[in-house]
A and B are shown apart, each in its own frame.
Chain A
Amino acid sequence: MKMTAMTDVTTDNQTPPTLTEEPAAAPVAEPIQMPQVPEQETELSGETVGNIHCENPFMIANDVNVYYGDNHAIKNVSLEIGKKEVIALIGPSGCGKSTFLRCLNRMNDTIETARVTGQITLDGKDIHRKEQDPVALRARVGMVFQKPNPFPKSIYDNVAYGPRIHGLAADRAELDDIVHTSLERAGLLKEVKDRLDEPGTSLSGGQQQRLCIARTIAVNPEVILMDEPCSALDPIATARIEDLMDELCEDYAIVIVTHSMQQAARVSRRVAYFHLGLLVEVDETDRIFTNPQHRLTEDYITGRIG
């Protein structure tokens, strides 16, 4: 690979991360993220440095591999996710962080060519065990997507959908209560309480994303997965969602994929750095950003690789 091409790529990837769009299911590891200097290849040994363990683990991934057809998208990833903690997954585009996230609630099941090996446990039980219904799993592990995707229904129906299909509310009053509480916790109630009948799609982008978060917490999950939830939002809406995450982590475990180092630093307690399908380093957020152990992590957070 020519050096000129390399520099081009690096500048490309230094555009603000909030603008980079990564298709959730894009399995392709782009060749541009190859290590710059040959000696680093030896560093990419597949062993995770730092500490994958945490106190009070709730979800444990053990030796997880994901293949999209012949493409080995995730390689031997082991990671623990604690109760009531925010863990950020960072890394360059195509490094597998979204793929890993989608493993946690088995959203990869919907991609026919995807194959997952290894073990992921939720509260001590394997989520791939036979009697585990993915529907029940997704009720416990909710997900917020990169682009706000409210249903083309009213704001009320958007939030009430999850409780309705799972039969969480006994009557209308209880459902009203769930909807109001969820909107309140998502910090949206004040803005929408007089127009719950209006379509969810009529809200602004930031409001839509908070509506999606309200919709997710209405089911009262134990873990919330967030796949770059702020990448389509402006800084003000982003700040609101980050505040929201701070509040939500008092009750839920939150796994967030982000391209913004600042966001990871602000919201998370631990950070996991992915590179080319490998989990390179996991540690407390402070340690990752002040004293990364791995050369690649350091290069990434200092902006030397995209």
Chain B
Amino acid sequence: MAKSKGQTTREKVEAGLPRRRRKELMFKFVGMLATTVGVVFLGVFFSTLIAEGSSAFKQTFMKLDIELAEDVIAPGGELDLAYADFDGLVRSALREAIPEVSGRRDRRELYRLVSVGAAYQLRDLVEANPELVGTKQTMWVPASSNVDMLIKGNIDAELDESLRPISDKQIAWVGTLQDDGRIETRFNKALFTNGDSRDPELAGIKGAVMGSLYMLIVTIALSFPIGVAAAIYLEEFAPRNRWSDLIEVNINNLAAVPSIVFGLLGLAVFINWASLPRSAPLVGGLVLTLLTLPVIIIASRAAIKAVPPSIREAALGLGASQTQVVFHHVLPLALPGMLTGTIIGMSRALGESAPLLMIGMVAFIVDVPGGFNDPATALPIQIYLWADSPERAFAERTSAAIIVLLGFLLLMNLAAVILRKRMERKW
């Protein structure tokens, strides 16, 4: 058997070796190339994202000496927060800072340097400290987004005046303010504490973050127990027959259904039929539950399957019932895998936007949602909305929101890794 065509086995092996080595080398090269391409893309993605988005964490503020005139805020000695002309107070402070401005048109241009948020800030200050009425306060108020963009260098002052959203005069005034030390960039707290706004300098992601949070609470509260219970039943108790095969095929198919279809289902069932409110995190959470259930069931079943049968047999041989085998032995061993699957499912739910469009979570919502039934939006939707806005300042906020979203995803995946490491048991 050792010889055919006069060659020994050893000769044949050696004849084939160079070809095998070449193949190995080729494969190594292709693998390295693929990895490099992936890493380069990731690097480009992250660097552009950070380059674009990091400036959104800073915001330009303007120092104004505002006279809290008693006759404006509290005519007749009584605080009148709803009708008081805080805007007027901010404007007169601005006029004071740049006294050379005259004429209605110029003044109107001047007023555009400061954000409308300045008046709200003033009102909140007075509401909190009514004793300040009648005094003069030095305050740092947000500048308008165009000033912000100019300071951050996102607006090219060399361009022709008609091609930029800020006029030559305004640029000059900003220069004066800067020379007076009245302009400063500070940490952009508004980005994290405000809801959405039409004014970029006032827009924040808190509304979207809270909306996403409420949705994820609903999703995890429903999909983890349901998914794990379904996986345990299918894997440990269900008889193997045509029905269980059918269910299995369906679950696998559901995992591949485009997410927008789940949105349509949610619209038809939860909103139209069950009359749940539109744009609510509750409905969003229900839809995302449907979306993540197949993922969790499949991951949990795989985790259960990975429990060695010898452990089951050992417990059965001692006289443990099927339920005891499952809850004393199979479940603790499968739990790390189940949790990993769940967190991967949650990450997918957090990044999902298509099904939420169908249930009305794409609306412009200013208020931060306070519960499961309040109108809300979600982080990915907020990114989509901002990316769609024309103002230049929304571009950096879009990137900032993406960074925040990626941060949450990173945290969740980290949690999955840590949970797995801590709960994993050797056998």
A-to-B contact residues, CB < 8 Å: 24, 105, 107, 110, 112, 135-139, 142-145, 147, 149-152, 161-162, 165-166, 199, 201, 212, 215-216, 219
| B240, A112: Cβ atoms closer than 8 Å | yes
| B426, A152: Cβ atoms closer than 8 Å | yes
Contacts between the two chains (Cβ within 8 Å), count: 70
| B329, A166: Cβ atoms closer than 8 Å | no
Considering only residues 303-320 of chain B, those with a C-beta below 8 Å from chain A are 308, 310-320
Knowing A151-B329, A201-B426, say if A105 contacts B314 (CB, 8 Å).
no
Knowing A151-B311, A152-B425, say if A138 contacts B240 (CB, 8 Å).
no
Q: Which residues of A contact B321 (CB under 8 A)?
A: 135
Beta-carbon nearest neighbor of B317 in chain A: A143
Tell me the smallest distance from the CB of B420 to a CB of chain A, in Å.
15
Beta-carbon nearest neighbor of B427 in chain A: A152
| A165, B427: Cβ atoms closer than 8 Å | no
Bound complex: CA A219 to CA B315 (Å) = 12
B-to-A contact residues, CB < 8 Å: 239-240, 308, 310-321, 324, 328-329, 333, 425-427
| B426, A139: Cβ atoms closer than 8 Å | no
Q: Which residues of A contact B308 (CB under 8 A)?
A: 149
| A165, B311: Cβ atoms closer than 8 Å | no
Bound complex: CA A136 to CA B249 (Å) = 37
| B319, A136: Cβ atoms closer than 8 Å | yes
Tell me the smallest distance from the CB of A199 to a CB of chain B, in Å.
7
| A219, B319: Cβ atoms closer than 8 Å | yes
Q: Tell which of B317, B333, B425 touches A138, judged by Cβ atoms closer than 8 Å.
A: B317
Bound complex: CA A110 to CA B319 (Å) = 13
Knowing A147-B310, A149-B310, A152-B426, say if A110 contacts B316 (CB, 8 Å).
yes
Knowing A112-B240, A152-B426, say if A161 contacts B318 (CB, 8 Å).
yes
Tell me the smallest distance from the CB of B423 to a CB of chain A, in Å.
11
| B316, A149: Cβ atoms closer than 8 Å | no
Beta-carbon nearest neighbor of B313 in chain A: A145
Bound complex: CA A49 to CA B312 (Å) = 37
| A145, B240: Cβ atoms closer than 8 Å | no
| B315, A139: Cβ atoms closer than 8 Å | no
Bound complex: CA A144 to CA B314 (Å) = 8
| B318, A162: Cβ atoms closer than 8 Å | yes
| A162, B319: Cβ atoms closer than 8 Å | yes
Q: Tell which of A145, A147, A199 touches B317, judged by Cβ atoms closer than 8 Å.
A: A145
| A149, B318: Cβ atoms closer than 8 Å | no
Knowing A147-B310, A152-B425, A152-B426, say if A165 contacts B320 (CB, 8 Å).
yes
Q: Apart from A151-B315, A152-B426, what 13 extra A-B contacts exist at CB < 8 Å?
A: A24-B313, A107-B317, A144-B317, A145-B310, A145-B313, A149-B308, A152-B333, A161-B328, A165-B324, A199-B425, A199-B426, A201-B426, A215-B314
